Chains A and B, each alone.
Chain A
Amino acid sequence: MKYEVAIGLEIHLELQTKSKLFCGCSTTFGREPNVNCCPICLGLPGTLPVFNRRAIELAVTAAIALNSAVSDQSRFDRKNYHYPDLPKAYQISQYEQPLARGGFLEIESEQSFKKIKLERVHLEEEAGKLIHSGSSILGSEYSLVDYNRAGIPLLEIVTAPDIRSGREARLFLEDLRLLLLYTGASDCKMEEGSLRCDANISLRPSGLSSLGTKTEVKNMNSFRAVETALNFEAKRQEAILKAGGSIAQETCHWDEAKKETIPLRGKEGSSDYRYFPEPDLLPLTLDRALIQNISEQLPELPLQRRTRLKQQYGLEAGEAGLFTENRALGDFFESAAEEYSNYRSLAKWVRGDLLYQIRESGKPVEEIQPKQLIELLTLLDQETINRPVAKELLSEMVKSGKGPKELVKEQGLERVSGREKLMPLVERVVAENPAVVEKYLQGKDKAISFLVGRVMALTGGRADPGEINKLLKEKISQ
């Protein structure tokens, strides 16, 4: 029997605000423990939460970018549970009336587009972080807790079970990450924990519409881990089903070292979070004008950009993809393209030599002036310099920040061309290498490239080999 995989993702993203969701504490990552804290985010008795409007704007921005319908009125609820990283013993979250419902993200998978539907998008607060002396809270001599993270705004995105493979899950996450980077809502750093992903995965016989029993996979710490873990889990479930067994609804832990999903049998009872409306906050009312305003100010999103780059400049898919993923490089390209109309050549230089030089020098692309590259390409087009010199100049240009014309003058790199300049050199090489000339005359065509090389060397590599070739043949045939 053939099985179809159904995966739904639950993604948590830290929103990129300066301060926390309900207090003024900084959200800076990597500071010493328990310094980004105040009585409010520590949940001291008597303290109360107050909305961070910026977090709400970012959440709305992300929701709109995800085509999700933002509610005029949403509500915050308390999710109650006891854990040392949760200062108030409840998390302020959204349960019955989330910020936004529905939506989709269109991903490009194997040359075709696919819409992954979303269930909901909501806002909640982050918990603190526990560091155990042992492997878990119950198996440790002691545990340390850091509340720097507690109260950072989190966006939760829940997808429908529309994802069909680990690879698709990864593509979804990569596209989601790019989308949210574009909107400025989150920096999506999985390694810093600002993007986290859990998955529900189940199998069903192909063609069936009802879902099979699912397992929840946790602890996937990179996009690659998501792909590997979900593929592994799909295979594990398939093996059980093919052997006539049944799947137990449970939570699995992805073990990155063993590359296995390990069921946490019986460790988690079903939790009752006793949700109820947060009485310390008024319902969140968003007026239409604000939503409209955010919607209008939304930047161009990755999928639109990719398509536009292809259409507007005739770029290849790979180039359009690169200029979308590397937004700054794409912006550089577009800025240069305003004054340089050979887009094909420009794109080649930007994705090739320029990108190479940027990586080599470690200099951010923002510090390079598009007009310098245009200047360089124009010098090349006018045959003032040749291609090898252009490449060298580009490297100098990136390193020093000096303009190509300036460098050409400084280093005397103008192209050596014209009969009057080149012919004396050609004559000299022919006179100095009679044996080679003889070989050429005997029909060894390749011998002439040696002579071209000699002349090139005399010009310091600044001449056009084609021109030399022509003059050499003319001289020898005399």
Chain B
Amino acid sequence: MELYQKTAANLSLMLQKKEVSSVEVVQSFLDRIELVEPHVKAFITHTPLIALETASAVDKKRLLGEDLHPLAGVPIAIKDNLCTAGLRTTCASRILENFIPPYDATVVEAIKRAGMPLLGKTNMDEFAMGSSTENSAFFSTANPWNLDKVPGGSSGGSAAAVSTGMAPLALGSDTGGSIRQPASFCGLIGLRPTYGRVSRYGLIAFASSLDQIGPLSLTAHDSALLMDVVAGYDPLDSTSLPEAVPDYAAGLEGEIKKLRVGVIKQNLADGFNPEVKAAVLKLVALLGANGAEIDEISLPLADYGLGAYYLIAPSEASSNLGRYDGVRYGYNAGGDNIEVMFSRTRGEGFGPEVKRRIIIGTYALSAGYYDAYYLQAMKVRTLIRRDYEAAFKKFDLLVGATTPTPAFNIGEKADDPLQMYLSDICNINDALAGVPSLSVPSGIDSCGLPLGMQMTAPPSREGLLLKIAGFLEQKRDPFPLRPRVKLSEGGEL
């Protein structure tokens, strides 16, 4: 087994036992990137030198016997909406194509402190707006399981990188499914933590009240290790949770107490792909066979979530994206006066989906429409949150499909925003409620595409999600976790 095929937990052990150096580990991933990246295109920016430098520094420290973080020397890829000091951060947008932040996001600082070599910044939908990574201003990313399919989005680059062994771990961000949906499409663990669990400082905002950073990985253990690096209170983020963070990796051990599992009716709806549903029910049955109490639950307001989300998120986005005007940084199209400069810069700098959402959001917040749209959506959000509170009085865990279908074709939904929005239908309510939610691989369909089950827990119980995901990894019927990347010209990688 090559180094790049190993899990982060494995690599961590090997490094700690000095069976391998971090430089060797990083080199293995760099070689893999060289081979696979031309076909998958997961990265916007490659940082091999930074990765090797960090690796060699960690190796030196290890030789000197210094105390190191368990993930020290284990490389990582991060989504290109996380600010990196001195390294361009584009958000996959023309408007930030050459933007070099002077500061690190809090999570980036944490990664650096842990000694994790940075392999690169991954592709995404522009400003995280999309579900297929086709909205990147630069290029689309392919699904490693079938290069004609999308990897999901908006964290599609992070998902594709981990899935192909171009990185053992990645960070993504999830506003309304942007970690979980690509994790499902690529056969990975993808965790959206409780809102506030991971600092948003340095995450380029899409919708501030919904954005959360989280891990994508091959196994629950790997995600737990990465959560141990990035989770926790941050005085720079007023919305970050002050409560202490458990040790997620340690929390994976031990018995699972008698679980009450609620199967969300709406997330296994009639129109869903039968193989998707069957795979979820199989895992549910496995939980049942291991002592969980299973029941069905209907979230009364679930059907209104998508509508509320597509008012709240664009409203916040319309405000968050106002600052890209060419005055201080980023793309500037010029113009004879300030008004022309503003409109040309924004007209040329933003892609069509971003513009669509800015327009929707601007409209929803306008005088005379605010009450009917934004305010109404916020009321729905409150009611959805109450639905969850009620549900968690009866259940420890809510489950359903992560997505209604497996990965769709590149271009299939690109011209139909509504169809695209519907692909996040199972992910949005959790985001509105601010509760933690995780996608765990549930199998491979008859076309060879991965499937996922989404599990949702009460606030701050992401540890439980990781633990159950770990349990399922051990107990489920085995299926391949990594694809063989089949090239159109023949051959596989």
A residues sitting closer than 8 Å to B (CB atoms) are: 39, 42-51, 78, 80, 82, 84, 87-90, 137-138, 143, 145, 272, 274-276, 279-282
Contacts and interface: CB of A to CB of B under 8 A. Distances in A.
Nearest to B196: A282
A42 B328 contact: yes
How many residues of B sit at the interface, in one of the four size bands? 35 or more
Contacts of B174: none
Contacts of B235: 50
B350 to A, nearest CB: 14
26 contacts: A43-B323, A43-B328, A44-B83, A44-B101, A44-B328, A45-B83, A45-B99, A45-B101, A46-B83, A46-B105, A46-B204, A48-B236, A78-B319, A80-B319, A82-B325, A84-B327, A89-B322, A89-B323, A143-B338, A274-B362, A274-B370, A276-B316, A280-B205, A280-B239, A282-B238, A282-B239
Given A42-B328, A80-B322, A90-B319, A49 B238 contact: yes
Contacts of B315: 276
A87 B328 CA distance: 8
B248 interface: no
The listed residue with most B CB atoms (<10 A of its CB), out of A45, A84, A145, A279, is A45
A21 to B, nearest CB: 12
A379 B316 CA distance: 75
The listed residue with most A CB atoms (<10 A of its CB), out of B316, B319, B328, B374, is B319
Given A45-B96, A80-B365, A145-B327, 12 more contacts: A43-B328, A44-B103, A45-B89, A46-B82, A46-B83, A46-B204, A48-B236, A48-B238, A48-B239, A143-B338, A274-B367, A275-B365
Nearest to B316: A279
Nearest to A84: B327
B365 A279 contact: no
A276 B319 contact: yes
Given A45-B91, A272-B366, A88 B83 contact: no
Interface string B230-246: 00000111110000000
A43 B99 CA distance: 14
B488 interface: no
A212 B236 CA distance: 48
Given A45-B96, A281-B238, A274 B365 contact: yes
B139 interface: no
Contact of A44 (B325, B329, B339): B329
A48 B337 CA distance: 30
B45 interface: no
Contacts of B205: 45-46, 280
A286 to B, nearest CB: 15
Contact of A280 (B91, B204, B238, B327): B238
Contacts of B89: 45
Contacts of B478: none
A274 B337 CA distance: 24
Nearest to B205: A46
Nearest to A23: B236
Contact of A87 (B201, B204, B318, B323): B323
Given A78-B319, A90-B319, A272-B366, A48 B328 contact: no
B214 interface: no
Contact of A39 (B101, B203, B319, B367): B101
B27 interface: no
A80 B316 CA distance: 11
B102 A39 contact: yes
Given A274-B362, A274-B365, A276-B315, A48 B201 contact: yes
Contacts of B366: 272, 274
